Amino acid sequence: MNIVSTKCAYHFDKFRQDLIRLQNQYQFIVNTIGHSRLGKPIYEIKLGSGSKKIHLNGAFHANEWITSLVLMKWLEEFLQFQISGEINSDFAKINLQDCTISIVPMVNPDGVDLVITQDVPATWLQYCQTINGGSNDFSTWKANIQGVDLNNQFPANWEIEKARKLPKSFAPRDFPGISPLSEPEARALAQLTEKENFDRVFAFHTQGKEIYWGYENFHPLPESKILAEQFAKLSGYKPIEIIDSHAGFRDWFIYQFRKPGFTIELGLGENPLPLTQFNEIYDDVRNMITAAIYL
């Protein structure tokens, strides 16, 4: 019987309940790598014990919560494979003695809850309504609860984004904060990455069916290009080397470590993407996520 349901919006409590049930059934490591602005734990799932370290994350942006569900569904299927041992599965290409898998499915739990349930303290709800133009419709909210875009928080030409981004103060989207890594969620990811020294990272966002794989001239060639092309073949997504963007998690990882980093833009349409798209999205990227680990 499946634990992770793809039939309802994936807020923090649902995610945490699924995580507890999966851990009870399959036994894997769950770490708390930090806490959100409202004190919610930011969970990391760890599988394997090998020297090759791969990191995946989702829901940097609040209204892109479907990325958390994609990662949790993949996790459940992979754990089920560990029990069944289906020989013909692509999962069989992953050797947990050779690799360590790190997954942070929900980087921005406060923002996700604001978008889906509005179950946040009353003072914070009032604050968010104020910077949301007085509206209690948070469907387009990307930021954390403070009003900072967590994917504009990293010290990779952050000053460029700060100078050119609008708005210039806390807002539902795009504000890069008062300084790099000012927000606890971004700091948690940066500290985890520095501690673990990952070999590759994958940040899942929506939407566009695109794979961003370069940053300035810091990405390693030909490795990053070859991987991006392989992922494109498996998913049907378009690989894009350079975009005019800075201060994202992937940007910083490539800039800081000179290793392959990828932003995967799932699906097509307007955020938040509806759950009616889930099966199509998952079918497109399931094998790509698996390949991200074994290639």
Residue entry with tokens 């990828």: 262
Cα separation, 69 vs 278, in Å, equals: 9
Cα separation, 104 vs 131, in Å, equals: 28
Residue 85 identity (one-letter amino acid): G
The predicted pLDDT at position 86 comes to: 78
The predicted pLDDT at position 27 comes to: 87
The predicted pLDDT at position 206 comes to: 98
The predicted pLDDT at position 169 comes to: 97
Cα separation, 75 vs 79, in Å, equals: 6
Query: Would you say residue 53 has pLDDT above 90?
Result: yes
The mean pLDDT value for 163-168 works out to 92
Return the percentage of the chain with pLDDT > 70, whole number.
Answer: 100
Higher pLDDT, 84 or 152: 152
Distances (CA, A) of 16 to 3, 32, 250, 263: 12, 12, 25, 24
Find the catalytic residue in 196, 265, 270, 280. 265
Query: Would you say residue 253 has pLDDT above 80?
Result: yes
Query: Would you say residue 239 has pLDDT above 90?
Result: yes
The predicted pLDDT at position 214 comes to: 98
The predicted pLDDT at position 8 comes to: 95
CB 68 within 8 A of CB 121: no
- Mean pLDDT over all residues of the chain? 97
The confidence band for 85, taking pLDDT boundaries of 50, 70 and 90, is confident
Query: Would you say residue 210 has pLDDT above 90?
Result: yes
265 an active-site residue?
yes
Q: Considering Cα of 219, then 220, then 221, then 222, what sign does the dihedral take?
A: negative
Residue 4 has which token pair?
């992770």
The predicted pLDDT at position 240 comes to: 98
CB 66 within 8 A of CB 272: yes
The predicted pLDDT at position 155 comes to: 98
The predicted pLDDT at position 90 comes to: 93
| Region of residue 119 (left: phi > 0; alpha: psi -120 to 50; beta: else) | beta
The confidence band for 171, taking pLDDT boundaries of 50, 70 and 90, is very high
Residue 242 has which token pair?
């350079």
CB 160 within 8 A of CB 246: yes
Cα separation, 185 vs 291, in Å, equals: 27
β-pair partners for 264: 204, 211
- H helix or E strand, kind and range, residue 34: strand 29-35
β-pair partners for 44: 31
* Start-to-end C-alpha separation, the chain: 30
The predicted pLDDT at position 227 comes to: 98
Query: Would you say residue 153 has pLDDT above 90?
Result: yes
Cα separation, 239 vs 265, in Å, equals: 10
For the chain, list the domains and their CATH numbers: 12-294 (3.40.630.10)
CB 60 within 8 A of CB 205: yes
The confidence band for 285, taking pLDDT boundaries of 50, 70 and 90, is very high
Residue 97 identity (one-letter amino acid): Q
Which three-class secondary structure state does DSSP give residue 137?
Answer: coil
The predicted pLDDT at position 165 comes to: 87
Cα separation, 196 vs 81, in Å, equals: 26
Burial readout 16-26 (b: 16 or more C-beta within 10 A, e: otherwise): bebbeebeeeb
The mean pLDDT value for 201-209 works out to 98
Cα separation, 216 vs 218, in Å, equals: 6
Tens digit of pLDDT for each residue in 94-133? 999 999 999 999 999 999 999 999 999 999 999 999 999 9
